[in-house]
Each structure stands twice: as C-alpha cells, then as structure tokens.
Amino acid sequence: MAQEAVTDTPDDVTGEGVRRRDFINIAAVSAAGVAGVSLLVPLISQMAPSADVLAASSTEVDISAIQPGQAIKAVFRKQPVFIRNLTPKEIAAANAVNISSLRDPQTLAERTKEGKENWLITMGVCTHLGCVPLGAGEGENRGEFGGYFCPCHGSSYDTAARIRKGPAPKNLEVPEYEFTSDTVVKIG
C-alpha cells in the first residue's frame, strides 16, 4: 500500500480540477484590476470641468428694462452677447430683405424664437476677424443697414444681424438660448 501512495499523483500535478495555483492567479489578477480601477477613477474624474466652469456655461439676463429699439451687451463665456428688442419697423425691414440676395441666407424667424420675434440675441463677435461690432450701445454707429457695424474692416449687418456688406463671411452667430420667463432669458 505504501507504493500506491507514492505512485498516485495529486490532482494539482495532473491538471485535473481547480488547482490552488489557478485560484491564486485569479485572485491576484482580480486584486490588480480593482487596484487599477481605483487609481483611474480619481484621475479621470479630476479632468471633469469644475463648478465655476459649469456655472459659466450659461448666463441668465433680465431683459425687462430693454425698451423697443434698444440693445444691451451681456457676457457669455467671456464673449460679448448682443440682446436687442426690435421695433416693428426693424422687424419689417428685416422681413423685407430678399433672402436669396444675402451672403448667409437666413430669415429673421430662423434667428429668433417663435412668439418672441422682437428679441434678437446674437454673439457680439464679427465673423471676419473676431472684432466687436458697434451698434448695441446708445449712440453707436449701426452702419448703413441699421443693425451693427464693425469699424475694423467695414462689415455691416442689418437689423437681423445678417451680413450685408464687407468682408465678414457669415451672420452674427445666434447662441443657444431659451426664455425662462417673460423677462429672463437663459443663454447657453
């Protein structure tokens, strides 16, 4: 009988069943995986934008004091934004323009919200070289089309902030915005 014990081989040597070494390998790889994930999660989460950056991603503006025909300058993502309360005359002038004659064809309705056609909200950055056009402030030159005028290179925009003359290739950009009430607009 003693010979049988010597000649029998244990299961871990022949490869039959689960060996102790297999269990140790699985446990070690699992522990390394958990450790790797626990190191990566803080590294990846620290790349997320901070609270002050998220807060700057939208701006709320009270528009109750803007009279028809007036405009204000606000700041959104460190860039100027023009908010204009169009008069019925300015709306009529914008709607009277033949759209096919425009360099960047857009109607006033495409640039404003339904039911709020008198509120034109655009970025205050010229699409030519990034200058800030005039026309939003009291007494500023609005150009020959009554909208905005960029004195740096002579780009003129109409009352719907569409490019009409000069080197600018596109209309003033309309940012994403929504009216949260009748007197407050949220940009961004």
**Distance between alpha carbon 23 and the CA centroid of its chain, in Å?**
51
In the beta sheet, which residues pair with residue 82?
73, 122
pLDDT more than 70, % of the chain: 89
Residues 22, 105: Cα–Cα separation, whole Å: 70
For residue 163, give the H/E element and its range. strand 163-165
pLDDT tier at 89 (50, 70, 90 boundaries)?
Answer: very high
Summarize pLDDT for 2-39 with one digit per residue, the tens: 555 555 555 555 556 678 888 889 999 999 999 999 99
Token code pair at residue 5:
């014990």
More confident residue, 48 or 54: 48
Residues 42, 181: Cα–Cα separation, whole Å: 39
DSSP state at residue 171: P
| Catalytic-role residue among 73, 103, 153, 170 | 153
Residue 16 CB neighbour total at 10 angstroms: 10
153 is catalytic: yes
Residues 6+ apart with CB under 8 A from 93: 146, 158, 159
Please report the pLDDT score of residue 57 as a whole number: 74
Give me the mean pLDDT over the 76-97 stretch: 89
Q: What is the pTM of this model?
A: 0.68
Summarize pLDDT for 122-171 with one digit per residue, the tens: 998 888 888 888 887 788 888 888 888 988 888 899 888 899 898 989 99
More confident residue, 46 or 30: 30
